[in-house]
Amino acid sequence: MIRLQKVEKIYRRGAETVRALRGVDLEIHSGEFAAVTGPSGAGKTTLLHIVGCLDTPGRGEVLFDGVSVDGWTDKKLTRLRREKIGFVFQQFYLIPGLSVADNIALPLLFRKQKPDKDRIATLARMVGLENRTRHVPAALSGGEMQRTAIARALVNRPEIILADEPTGNLDSKNSEKIFDILKGLNRSGLTVLMITHNANLAARADRIIRIKDGMVEA
């Protein structure tokens, strides 16, 4: 589904040059649940951003469904993200003044689509927030906020969910809930790539991708 070929990423941090990814070859298969693990600064998030077409590699190539996205315009990459990729972040990034339902519907705005109430209700029910759709984020617990973010990631019917430490800000009980939801989505056919520091959760993924010093360990 997504293939990275000899991907390099170098960026500058002040006076320092950081080689975030060094010749990464990686394939994410359709329908798999992969966990990305590794120490802080190993290049996990950079990898996720490149897989999610948020960033472009300095060298190497990214192929999405067999098509190279090399040289694509920002507009084209934005459309790809909008239509095929769902993002879940550690900090949730919900919009404070919008209700749960409106937050879930947010990506539809950028697709010039009217919110499909049935779809939003279905997603809210799927993540266990059917009674919280009118609440604003400030009235939610951390777990509920992340479940809202997952529903938001799903509203455009993506092919893959990219989750950057989705349980990083949650207690173990809520972490389990979030993982179960992601696992359930994967069982229904969705591809999931999740960065995690939680070894227990990673162990329950189909595959563990270990990254160290910008390289994928065999």
Residues that bind other proteins (CB under 8 A): 45, 49, 52, 54-55, 74-75, 78-79, 81-83, 86-87, 89, 91, 93, 95-98, 102, 105-111, 114-115, 152-153, 156
Nearer to other proteins, 37 or 45 (CB): 45
The CB-of-46 to other proteins minimum distance in angstroms stands at 9
The kind and range of the H/E element at 177 are: helix 172-187
Nearer to other proteins, 8 or 176 (CB): 8
Q: How far apart are CA 63 and CA 51, in angstroms?
A: 9
The CB-of-81 to other proteins minimum distance in angstroms stands at 5
The CB-of-201 to other proteins minimum distance in angstroms stands at 22
The amino acid at residue 83 is: E
Axis crossing angle, helix 117-126 with helix 142-154, rounded to the nearest 10: 130
Is there a contact between 5 and 216 (Cβ–Cβ < 8 Å)? Answer: no
Q: How far apart are CA 218 and CA 142, in angstroms?
A: 35
Q: How far apart are CA 5 and CA 70, in angstroms?
A: 11
Nearer to other proteins, 12 or 173 (CB): 12
The CB-of-203 to other proteins minimum distance in angstroms stands at 27
Say if residue 8 is exposed, middle or buried (CB neighbours under 10 Å; 0-12, 13-18, 19+): middle
Give the number of other CB atoms < 10 A from CB of residue 201: 21
- Quick one: tokens of 54? 């948020």
Nearer to other proteins, 72 or 89 (CB): 89
Nearer to other proteins, 142 or 176 (CB): 142
Nearer to other proteins, 86 or 214 (CB): 86
Q: How far apart are CA 26 and CA 51, in angstroms?
A: 10
The CB-of-179 to other proteins minimum distance in angstroms stands at 21
Residue 175: what are its φ and ψ, rounded to 5°? -60, -45
The CB-of-160 to other proteins minimum distance in angstroms stands at 13
